[in-house]
Amino acid sequence: MARAQRLPDHMAAFCARFASNRRGVAAVEFALIFPFLMMVYFGGFEICRATATYRKLADTTVELANISAQYTSMTANDVSTVMNASAQIMAPYATQNLSIVLSEVTTDASSNATVTWSSAFNGAVPLGVGTAVAMPTGLSSPSSNYILVQTAYNYTPTVGAQFIGAMPMSDQIFIIPRQSPSIPYTG
């Protein structure tokens, strides 16, 4: 009987020592929170990188439109030069995932827009001549010409690509030709 009484006293003492011992608590807490911290860190890294890539894509779209709008006419060589400039603008990001469509859009007297000419880069599909184009509200004016640049980029995350996959990004801009009423294409 004495042995049966000592067991609860012994267990009570052990539990008291265990509850009062604080060695290793920080290590256990860190081990519990570490996976969450890593998810937040790498998630923030990927969000920042994706945002920077999209910003470069938007810059590429605007700059290609600005460069193209300064021509009075374009040849296939001119279009190739303008399209290849995208590698310089997109740096340090690779351009093998970048596709570009450069087009001229003409509106009729009723402000209905159609494609006059179109050229594609890096696997993109050019718009068909005569294809109707939806103009942004308030931009279209009757009997006018616009340069349309459409860009697309498949962003692949560095961390977690097998879970997320490629994220498609795209941008487009309409701009009025600067040096002439239209920019004829001889390609």
Overall size of the chain counted in residues: 187
Task: For residues 184 and 174, give the distance between their C-alpha atoms in angstroms, rounded to a whole number.
Answer: 16
3-state SS record for 95-150:
CCCEEEEEEEEEECCCCCEEEEEEEEECCCCCCCCCCEECCCCCCCCCCCEEEEEE
Q: What is the pLDDT along the chain (187 residues), one digit of tens a residue?
A: 455 555 677 777 777 777 776 777 777 888 899 999 999 998 899 999 999 999 999 999 999 999 999 999 999 999 999 988 888 898 898 888 999 999 999 999 998 999 999 999 988 999 999 999 999 888 888 999 999 999 999 998 888 777 778 899 999 999 999 999 999 998 7
Task: For residues 153 and 97, give the distance between their C-alpha atoms in angstroms, rounded to a whole number.
Answer: 5
- Give domain limits for the chain: 2-186
Instruction: Please provide the distance, in angstroms rounded to a whole number, between the alpha carbons at the two ends of the chain.
Output: 105
